């Protein structure tokens, strides 16, 4: 729907006289009056559907105007998806130089005409290029029309809009091969590949989405030569393929990212490649998730000289060496919630620092669960280690727990006891002289977001954890970062601990008290508590510690 904005009229005060004198009075008010033309300034076309990479023209036009000799307007737009490159003002109008600054989110146009004009016409034509997916309003404001006497002309405004979408190119309907489809695509397009086997070495050099119809039946096979899918640009989405049979000469791999950023590789089967399954070289801010990475001859997922990547929820099994490897100055990567099983080594960290390895299942790897070499300041916690040799370490110091009461890792060969029942082993798990898990878990870490540390049980909601029969006075409930729309009633003497008070939010959803406490000796810390009638209500409750929260 287009907004129609009336322009405020200059107030005209006319004497209230008999009708015979009224017309004469109006005729005398020529210099200071406003012309009563019913003109419209509008964006033409009002709605625009374009694709990423398209160049197109938007007109700002006027209709039903009388005696127009000058105009001005500002057109606002969204610079994240549109670039303006030029403005043309057609005769008889004359405009001063118009500077288009790509940093601005608007264009100002003013012009005059030596000859007054009546009727309908284009006032200005503006050339845009669509640079990203999304939508933008085209807002006209500060618009003026003036007649030959210099008076304002009454008018209305109709804004416009642009939607930037992607073109869908289908293989083999539109092109027989995946590479031909990519070559024909523009930035932001989608290449959809139907089920079948495609014997190709594909290079993705455009910011596109490459989607297979079904990951089990849409197969890209490199015939044991080179890399199967080589991504050499950023902002690529890749999903829905079986990727197999790469060559065996490094960096041959199933999926190779070189100098790529902000890519999402998800929902693929990456199997039986001669090199690595997935190989990141000098790449950052990518997400590798929910893939089956199985039976590749070298590493399942290998990260080299790369930072700020997320590797999560992958099944990484039966690969030739490391299930997941962080190599050669890779830092600030998150390796989370992966199933790393039946590889010679589960996870390798070599000459890499400040990575976080958490909540992974690292089991039945034949040589060792995790190997550390010349790598420091990595945080390794809440993992399940179940290997005959858990750690190979050269003594580089790393952090093996998340403090108390959050705890460290679950070790299948831990022999300590938990005398006080807090879910943490009483004796640290020693790896070497420089590395110790100070707070080994007595129970495997749950994949659910709320954790009873004492019992090891996980829950989907905070209230569910509180109400569970297994949850007793004195237990600790640890809550992962997230937003929880709940109104809590706490009737047990618990410690309720949020992961981080800025990102662990209990939202009362504008209903009642967010937290209602009837128990004594309760601890609440590490939360943002918001959006309720009361943040925390204590009813006949004493001995509580409520600290480190945002309320």
Alpha-carbon distance 422 to 520, whole Å?
A: 19
pLDDT at residue 250 above 80?
A: yes
pLDDT at residue 24 above 70?
A: no
Per-residue confidence band for 2, with pLDDT thresholds at 50, 70 and 90: very low
Higher pLDDT: 35 or 532? It is 532
**Nearest one of 538, 526, 463, 458 to 498, comparing CA atoms:** 526
Structure tokens at 411: 């070790």
pLDDT at residue 321 above 80?
A: yes
Residue 521: exposed, middle, or buried by beta-carbon count in 10 A (0-12, 13-18, 19+)?
Answer: middle
Alpha-carbon distance 264 to 286, whole Å?
A: 6
**Region 48-72 average pLDDT:** 92
Give the pLDDT score at 482.
95
Express each pLDDT in 362-414 by its tens digit: 999 999 999 999 999 999 999 999 999 999 999 999 999 999 999 999 999 99
**Nearest one of 472, 413, 465 to 437, comparing CA atoms:** 413
Mean predicted lDDT score pLDDT of the chain: 91
Express each pLDDT in 156-187 by its tens digit: 999 999 999 888 999 999 999 999 999 999 88
Cα-atom radius of gyration of the chain, to the nearest Å?
Answer: 33
Q: Cβ distance 62 to 39 under 8 Å?
A: yes
List, as one string, the DSSP characters of 437-473.
Answer: ESS-BSSPPPSSSEEETTT--EESSHHHHHH-TT--T
- Edge-to-edge, what's the strand order for the sheet holding 513-517? 488-490, 513-517, 534-538
Characterize 75-89 residue by residue with b for buried, 16 or more Cβ atoms within 10 angstroms of its Cβ, and e for exposed. bbbbbebbebeebeb
Q: Which residues, including other chains, have CB under 8 Å from residue 419's CB and lie 6 or more apart?
A: 426
Which position has the token pair 């490897």? Answer: 325
Give the pLDDT score at 133.
85
CATH classification for the domain delimited by 19-165, as one of 1.20.58.480, 2.60.40.10, 2.60.40.680, 2.60.40.2140: 2.60.40.680
Element (H, E) at 20: helix 19-28
Q: Are strands 301-304 and 276-281 parallel, antiparallel or unpaired?
A: parallel
**Region 526-545 average pLDDT:** 95
Express each pLDDT in 335-356 by its tens digit: 999 999 999 999 999 999 999 9
Least confident of 95-109, 297-311, 374-388, 456-470: 95-109
pLDDT at residue 8 above 90?
A: no
Give the pLDDT score at 17.
33
Give the pLDDT score at 502.
95
Give the pLDDT score at 212.
97
Least confident of 10-24, 65-79, 413-427, 499-513: 10-24
Structure tokens at 34: 């406003």
Give the pLDDT score at 34.
38
pLDDT at residue 7 above 60?
A: no
Per-residue confidence band for 103, with pLDDT thresholds at 50, 70 and 90: confident
Alpha-carbon distance 225 to 200, whole Å?
A: 9
**Region 440-444 average pLDDT:** 97
Percentage of the chain lying above the pLDDT 90 cut: 87
Per-residue confidence band for 280, with pLDDT thresholds at 50, 70 and 90: very high
Q: Cβ distance 289 to 312 under 8 Å?
A: yes
Give the pLDDT score at 87.
93
Per-residue confidence band for 436, with pLDDT thresholds at 50, 70 and 90: very high
Kindly tell me the sign of the dihedral angle through the C-alpha atoms of 375, 376, 377, 378. Answer: positive
Per-residue confidence band for 99, with pLDDT thresholds at 50, 70 and 90: confident
Give the pLDDT score at 275.
98
Percentage of the chain lying above the pLDDT 70 cut: 93
Q: Cβ distance 65 to 118 under 8 Å?
A: yes
Alpha-carbon distance 364 to 389, whole Å?
A: 9
Structure tokens at 297: 């001859």
Give the pLDDT score at 23.
37
Give the pLDDT score at 51.
84
Give the pLDDT score at 131.
85
């Amino acid at each position: 729907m287009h907004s129609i904005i009336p322009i405020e009229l200059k107030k005209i005060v006319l004497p209230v006289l008999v009708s015979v004198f009224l017309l004469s009075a109006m005729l005398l008010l020529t210099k200071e009056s406003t012309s009563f033309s019913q003109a419209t300034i509008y964006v033409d076309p009002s709605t625009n559907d374009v694709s990423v990479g398209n160049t197109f023209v938007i007109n700002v036009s006027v209709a039903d105007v009388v005696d127009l000799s000058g105009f001005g307007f500002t057109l606002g737009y969204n610079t994240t998806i549109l670039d303006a490159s030029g403005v043309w003002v057609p005769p008889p109008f004359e405009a001063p130089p118009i500077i288009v600054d790509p940093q601005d989110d608007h264009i100002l146009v003013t012009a005059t005409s030596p000859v007054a004009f009546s009727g309908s016409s284009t006032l200005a034509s503006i050339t845009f290029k669509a640079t990203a997916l999304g939508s933008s309003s085209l807002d006209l404001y500060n618009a003026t029309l003036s007649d030959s006497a210099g008076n304002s002309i009454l008018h209305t405004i109709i804004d416009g809009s642009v939607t930037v979408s992607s073109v869908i190119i289908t293989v083999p309907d539109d092109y027989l091969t995946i590479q031909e489809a990519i070559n024909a695509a523009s930035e932001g397009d989608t290449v959809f590949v139907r089920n079948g086997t495609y014997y190709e070495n594909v290079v993705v050099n455009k910011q596109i989405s490459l989607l297979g119809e079904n990951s089990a039946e849409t197969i890209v096979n490199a015939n044991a030569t080179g890399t199967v899918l080589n991504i050499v640009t950023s902002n690529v989405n890749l999903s829905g393929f079986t990727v197999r049979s790469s060559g065996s000469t490094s960096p041959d791999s199933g999926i190779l990212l070189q100098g790529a950023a902000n890519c999402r590789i998800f929902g693929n089967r990456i199997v039986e490649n001669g090199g690595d399954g997935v190989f990141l070289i000098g790449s950052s801010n990518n997400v590798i998730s929910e893939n089956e990475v199985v039976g590749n001859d070298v590493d399942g997922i290998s990260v080299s000289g790369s930072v700020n990547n997320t590797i999560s929820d992958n099944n990484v099994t039966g690969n030739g060496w490391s299930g997941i490897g962080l190599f050669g100055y890779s830092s600030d990567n998150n390796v989370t919630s992966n199933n790393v099983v039946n590889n010679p080594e589960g996870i390798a960290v070599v000459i890499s620092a400040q990575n976080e390895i958490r909540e992974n299942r690292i089991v039945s790897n034949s040589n060792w669960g995790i190997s550390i070499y010349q790598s420091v300041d990595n945080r390794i916690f809440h993992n399940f280690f179940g290997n005959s040799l858990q750690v190979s370490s050269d003594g580089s110091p790393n952090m093996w727990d998340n403090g108390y009461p959050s705890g460290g890792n679950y070790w299948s060969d831990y022999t300590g006891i938990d005398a006080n029942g807090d879910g943490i082993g009483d004796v640290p798990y020693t790896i070497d002289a420089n590395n110790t898990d100070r707070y080994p878990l007595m129970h495997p870490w749950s994949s659910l977001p709320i954790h009873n540390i004492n019992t090891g049980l996980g829950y989907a909601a905070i209230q569910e954890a509180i109400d569970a029969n297994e949850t007793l006075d004195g237990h600790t409930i640890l809550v992962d970062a997230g937003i929880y729309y709940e109104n809590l009633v706490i009737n047990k003497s618990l410690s309720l601990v949020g992961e981080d008070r800025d990102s662990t939010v209990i939202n009362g959803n504008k209903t009642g008290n967010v937290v209602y406490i009837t128990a004594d000796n309760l601890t609440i810390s590490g939360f943002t508590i918001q959006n309720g009638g009361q943040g925390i209500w204590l009813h006949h409750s004493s001995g509580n510690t409520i600290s480190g929260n945002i309320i």
